[in-house]
Amino acid sequence: MWKRRKRQPKNTRQDGLLDINGQQVPVRIYREDRRNVRASIGKEYAYLRMPHWQSKAEQEKNLQWFRDWLSGRLQQSEGLSDRLSGRQYEDGELLRVGQREYRLRLKLEDRKTHSAKLQPDGSIVLKLSSAAPERDRSKAIQKLLSRVVAQDYLPAITRRVHELNERYFRQPVNQVRLKYNHSNWGSCSNNSNINLSTRLLFAPQEVIDYVIIHELAHLLEMNHSPRFWKLVSDAMPDYREKEIWLKEHGRELNF
């Protein structure tokens, strides 16, 4: 006699917005084959994972716990709110990046794509698609500003990389690049390219110098061995202070 196989409910995913103290936070809720409830925060969403077999009352209870948890996290971290909902820029706003200032000019137009251009007077004109959702426009503005500011800062950053390289390492450097990167502050490729995150431009100069020195040291040691850290320490004895600063303030550095 055969037994009928019990049908397992499919895992589901639901995307939406939660009102947290007046702020619309993008969330992604998973109902899965699991026993516990878990919350986390990613680059663009706050995540809630909970068992699919719970009753509606239990799921509502989990959702309320998630709201309270999110509210606490948003209050604890200053930069988290902008990262999740996207920073809201306004026409005429002044953007400060390091020692430079840019006046933003936002124009909504009947167009399919977004664009940005740095003007001779230091203003940045952003032409945005009026058809795009507000959240998409916010994300586009961040990327466009990063690209324009990177082009403006690249000559100065390149000079600084070569100055520190000549002073401490004297190794061949191929290219210096600024990228809108969230996964790290910098990297050194096998082709001797030094890549730095544009988010780093919001940091104090000595912190920028530390990341540059860190990546230049990789030209000699492509690892994090004691020899590598000796190279970093010889060039910047107080480098640990810069690492601590990045850990404490890194989330605040963003367009």
Q: For position 176, which CATH number holds?
A: 3.30.2010.10
Summarised one tens digit per residue, pLDDT across range 187-198 is 999 999 999 999
Query: Which structural domain, as residue segments, surrounds residue 69?
Result: 12-84
Provide the domain count of the chain.
Answer: 2
Q: Which of 193, 230, 183 is nearest to 215 (CA)?
A: 193
What global pTM score does this model have? Answer: 0.74
Within a domain: 5: no
Q: How confident is the model at residue 172 (pLDDT cuts 50, 70, 90)?
A: very high
CA 245 to chain centre: 17
Q: What is the pLDDT of residue 182?
A: 83
Phi-psi region of 150 (alpha: psi -120 to 50; beta: other; left: phi over 0): alpha
* Chosen domain end from 84, 110, 141: 84
Do 111 and 232 share a domain, yes or no? Answer: yes
pLDDT at 210 > cutoff 80: yes
The predicted structure's pLDDT at residue 82: 67
Q: Determine the pLDDT at residue 9.
A: 57
